[in-house]
Amino acid sequence: MGRLLLRGVRQAQSVILIAILLLLDLPSLLPSLDAYSSQWLGWLWYGLLVAVAAVDAVLSARGAFWGRTAWPVALGVLAVSTAAAASLPTSELLGPAHYTFGVVGWFGLVLFADRRIRTVVAFVLLHVAVTAALLAVRGVLSEQLVTLATVALGVSSFQFALMAATLVLRAIAERATEVAVAQAEAATQEAIAREVHTDREARYAALRETALPLLRGLADGTLSPTDHAVQRAAAVEAARMRRLFSEQGDEATLLAAEVESLVDVVERRGVRVRYAARPLAVEPPPEVRRSLVEAISGVLLVTTRVARVTVGGTGRDVTVSVVTDGDVGGSGDDAPGGEHVRTSTVVDGGRTWVEARWLIP
């Protein structure tokens, strides 16, 4: 927003310059062309100034500044103004024919639009000094000094007024930018926090549905800790809680990270796991990720000796897979499928292979 404001100021300055050249200076030039030592010289100086203003208009429209070319061009403008004055008779100096005296300051404004105000002031003073030197050469400085000062002050006060306005606008723009950035940052943080919170709430809700009955059953003695099915259910819930607690905002949301945390759980029980993960074409959304992990966690968590665990897929799907060579009791048929996730189980020669596949929509 601040950028837009500054760009607006820059374009306004360019428009003012062109308006002055066309509406103020051209009417001054036309009746006084005869004053120039030759008419084409009058057109030449005017043409050069219009050319610089035109280039500036293009830059301004593109949101660009003169940058390093500002000083050379500024000195060029100064030279044109001085040459124009030099080609006028002494009587016409500081009169309507000497219109360039008034417009040079406006050039200073646009050429040094990205610099400090003191650069523009220095340029304007330099121009007045050069003009004074020309008057001195013509031997009329002392009698014209008051006129020079009056005209210079009259013209420059407009320019300095605009500069002051620019300064104020620039300060407002910077402040506006800061505020806008801060607001965007706050909004993003808030959105992330809300997302994480919703995700956690959903997980806690899922835990309440499954972990609480299990704990209650163990507490009141209706479930036995020695029961194989109870042990398996407890292992599943423990891994779920572990995933829930390990989640760190937007960082640990990767499918592979969740599968690895499951692998950690079983490796600490002494199971030898051969784990391989390939980069995925698409990171699955959270609910799909959960379905994929749940689909393999049941069979993986009851593995007692060796397991092969993979995360991978082609350009069209994402798969997680577990092969175990232990007796997994009840296989993985009851693993929850979830939306868009297909689970397939193969039992062969004492091995059980469960694969969960999500087709990328």
Partner 1 sequence: MADPLTGRRGPTVVIVDDHPAIVDGVRAWCSGADPPIEVVDSGNRPAAAFAGAGADADVVVFDLLYGSQPDFSSLRRLIQAGRRVIVYSQEDSADTVLRCVELGVATYLTKSEGDEHLVPAIHAIAEGGTYTGPVLSGILAGDRRPGRPVLSEREREVLIAWFECESKQLVARRLHISVKTVDTHIERVRIKYADTGRPATSKSALMIRALQDGIVDLDDFDDLGGDG
- Give residues in contact with partner 1 (CB under 8 A): 274, 276, 278-279, 281, 308, 310, 312-316, 319, 321, 323, 344, 346, 348-349, 351, 353, 355
In the complex with partner 1, the residue whose CB is nearer, 279 or 361, is 279
89, two tokens: 């008779």
Of 13 and 321, nearer to partner 1 (C-beta) is 321
Q: Which is nearer to partner 1, 166 or 303 (CB)?
A: 303
**CB neighbour burial string for 231-250, b if at least 16 within 10 angstroms, e if fewer:** ebbbbbbebbeebeeebeee
Q: Which residues contact 218 (CB under 8 A, 6 or more apart)?
A: 225, 230, 234
Question: 246 — alpha (psi -120 to 50), left (phi > 0) or beta?
Answer: alpha
Q: How far is the CB of 349 from partner 1 (least distance, A)?
A: 7
**Distance from first CA to last CA of the chain, Å, rounded?**
38
Least distance (Å) between residue 274 CB and partner 1: 7
Provide, rounded to whole angstroms, the least separation between the CB of residue 281 and partner 1.
6
CA distance 116 to 323: 71
Q: What is the smallest separation between the CB atom of 348 and partner 1, expressed in angstroms?
A: 5
Residues 57, 10: Cα–Cα separation, whole Å: 10
Nearest CB to partner 1, comparing residues 207 and 306 = 306
> Is the CB of 34 or the CB of 327 nearer to partner 1?
327
Q: Rounded to an integer, what distance in angstroms lies between the CA atom of residue 180 and that of residue 167?
A: 20
In the complex with partner 1, the residue whose CB is nearer, 200 or 316, is: 316
* Minimal distance, residue 359 CB to partner 1, in Å: 12
Say how far apart CA 162 and CA 319 lie, in whole Å: 66
Write the DSSP assignment of 315-358 as a string of letters.
Answer: SSEEEEEEEE-S--SSTTTTS---TTEEEEEEEETTEEEEEEEE
Q: How far is the CB of 323 from partner 1 (least distance, A)?
A: 5
CA–CA separation, 160 and 71 (whole Å): 19
Q: Which residues fall within 8 angstroms of residue 291, CB to CB, at 6 or more apart?
A: 336, 337, 338, 339, 340, 341, 356, 358
Question: Shortest Cβ distance from residue 240 to partner 1 (Å)?
Answer: 23
As measured in angstroms, the least distance from the Cβ of 356 to partner 1 is: 11
Minimum CB separation of residue 310 from partner 1 in Å reads 5
Residues 49 and 244: their CA atoms lie apart, in Å, by 70
Q: Which is nearer to partner 1, 126 or 360 (CB)?
A: 360
> Which of 234, 341 has the CB closer to partner 1?
341
| DSSP state at residue 35 | G
Name which of 223 and 354 has its Cβ closer to partner 1. Answer: 354
Distances in Å between the alpha carbon of 28 and those of 46, 96, 100, 131, 252? 11, 5, 10, 19, 72
72 in Cβ contact with 112 (< 8 Å)? no
- CA–CA separation, 219 and 115 (whole Å): 76
